[in-house]
Amino acid sequence: MSELFIREATPDDAAAICAIYNPYIEYTTISFEEKPVAVSEMAERIAHTQAQGLPWLVAEAGGDMLGYAYATRWRVRPAYRHAVESSIYMRQATVGQGVGKLLYRELIRRLAVLGLHTVIGGVAQPNPASDGLHRALGFKQVAQFEQVGRKFGRWLDVAYWQLPLTRDLAEASCN
């Protein structure tokens, strides 16, 4: 693989992000969305996240996008302003190669630099790869809500993972 490069997303990345994300919608229960996202809608999502001062990152190698990760506000009420929810999606062919771990680690580092207090990851179950990623990065599973989503005729559970953000994370490198 070429050298990995992690950078902020731009609206021009929307098509490549849709190419990664839409198969998760169409063929898996990993995303609870049910209809593919249009490129224009994805560009709006990127802009909205970044307008809130939150990162939306992409990982590239050799000019190809391998995955993306971003954070959104956990809840709208003011007292929740120090908590965010993270999302990460990788091109299927890159899952298990360590790229997602590097990308997610950089997202966490940037969230810590912003002075946020905690990051929460929701994982549709079963998803051993995502559960393992969260565990490897120091998240602790704090909840599992049963049968909160329904897709492809199945009831689905969601596990919630939480990571407190510290100064050490803010100072950590991506290595």
Q: What is the pLDDT of residue 115?
A: 95
Q: What is the pLDDT of residues 8-17, one digit of tens each?
A: 999 999 999 9
Distance CA 82, CA 165 (A): 10
Mean of the pLDDT values across residues 76-81?
A: 95
Tell me if 6 sits within 8 A of 106, measured CB to CB.
yes
Given a cut of 80, whether residue 170 has pLDDT beyond it is no
Distance CA 131, CA 157 (A): 13
Q: Looking at the 3D structure of the chain, how many domains does it have? A: 1
Q: What is the pLDDT of residue 1?
A: 60
CATH number reported for the structural domain that contains residue 24 in this entry: 3.40.630.30
Other CB atoms within 10 A of residue 86 CB: 24
- Supply the DSSP string of 13-28, one letter for each residue: GHHHHHHHHHHHHHH-
Tell me if 121 sits within 8 A of 140, measured CB to CB.
no
Tell me if 4 sits within 8 A of 99, measured CB to CB.
yes
Angstrom CA distances, 153 to 45, 128, 147, 163, stand at: 28, 21, 12, 32
**Among the listed residues 121, 123, 119, 120, the one whose alpha carbon sits nearest the alpha carbon of residue 157:** 123
Residue with tokens 């998803």: 127
> Residue type for 9, please?
A
Comparing 167 with 131, which gets the higher pLDDT?
131
Q: What is the pLDDT of residues 85-138, one digit of tens each?
A: 999 999 988 888 889 999 999 999 999 999 999 999 999 999 999 999 999 999
Which structural domain, as residue segments, surrounds residue 99?
4-171
Comparing 71 with 174, which gets the higher pLDDT?
71
Distance CA 1, CA 99 (A): 10
> E strand or H helix at 102, and its extent?
helix 99-113
